[in-house]
Amino acid sequence: MAIERNLILVHSPGWQEVADFHDIARRVQSLAPEIATYVVSNDSSAPVTRRQASMHPTLTFSPIRLRTFRPGRGIVFEGRTISKLEEMGRLARAGLPVPEYEPLTADTRLDRMRYGRLVILKPSYALASFGQGIDLMESDHVRFRQPEDFPDQHPGRRGPMIVQRFVNCGFAMTCRVLTLFGAPLLTYCRESTVPLAIDEKSGDFTQADFMPTRPNMRVYAPRDADILELAARAYAALPEAALQACDILRDRDGRLHILEVNPGGGAWMFSNRSAQRFRDALGIDDLTQPFDAFAVCARQLVEKTRTLAQ
């Protein structure tokens, strides 16, 4: 069959295993032999591939931003590092259930009727991760701090802090849904096995008071239809970021809330630096198995290449 379009998969050493992309490429070729599929390194200019791929309409996918490699033509889907304030604003404007929030400024005066007794204080700096800089506070105690007043490595030095209504789930929990163009690839939920005890406590909180920690923690891969549907809807709010890691909470009344989607693309959970931790926690050797993730990737990329390649 004659080649009609190109798909370029850009692998970034240290962020994904190249074998993952070769697996996806083989599946694409099987589904759509008219699509020539290339796997290139983000650290190489790949001049031969670039020249060959310029002969037909092309779509390029890279989980993280492009570095050395640049395609000669076509549409590019790459990870986008944006401020969490911008990210949350786009989710909210899309009508998604983002808990009330605002940037913390010197003029901030929190409305307790809007925020309740407890709020989360977190950084807007896009590269903050793993709970860095996140605190639970009583809304009456929130005070603005100048960036230089934070400790040296605190992300509050890199951008404004955000105050957000605390979502009481009854149990400390976090739930992540990894999607490609809105289609689920993997889910990962951590949940405390003991109820939250914050109603009886005041003053300073530690992250262990409101985030799940060992040994009182269970880990599982949920398949709740409403959680997957919310993650799928989130893609439309930031469609330029094909790979999204959606952080979703279910409150104690059963309502869902979305916090962020991490559009930078570092959450290729199958083979990134944290992959073994995910395997061990879930008790799964092959993280692609629950959703047949690489088959989903192939189908999504074939569809997008056929409709969007330029």
- Lowest mean pLDDT of 137-141, 220-224, 299-303, name the range: 137-141
Cis peptide before 215 (omega within 30 of 0): yes
More confident residue, 127 or 225: 225
More confident residue, 213 or 191: 191
* Domains in the chain: boundaries: 5-79+293-308, 84-264
pLDDT band of 129, cuts 50, 70, 90: low
Fold of 5-79+293-308: Rossmann fold (3.40.50)
pLDDT of 200 > 80? The answer is no
pLDDT of 35 > 70? The answer is yes
In which order are the strands placed within the sheet that holds 171-180?
217-220, 183-195, 171-180, 243-250, 256-260
Please say whether the beta carbons of 77 and 244 come within 8 A: no
Segment 278-302 shows an average pLDDT of: 97
CA distance 33 to 37: 9
Fold of 84-264: D-amino Acid Aminotransferase; Chain A, domain 1 (3.30.470)
Average pLDDT, the chain: 93
Question: Three-class SS of residue 195?
Answer: strand
The pLDDT of residue 41 is 97
- Lowest mean pLDDT of 111-120, 173-182, 223-232, name the range: 111-120
pLDDT of 62 > 70? The answer is yes
pLDDT of 225 > 90? The answer is yes
pLDDT of 126 > 80? The answer is no
The dihedral over CA atoms of 69, 75, 79, 84, expressed in degrees to the nearest 10, equals: 140
Q: What is the pTM of this model?
A: 0.94
User: Distance of CA 45 to CAs 6, 56, 82, 151, 285, Å?
Assistant: 17, 19, 25, 39, 34
pLDDT band of 282, cuts 50, 70, 90: very high
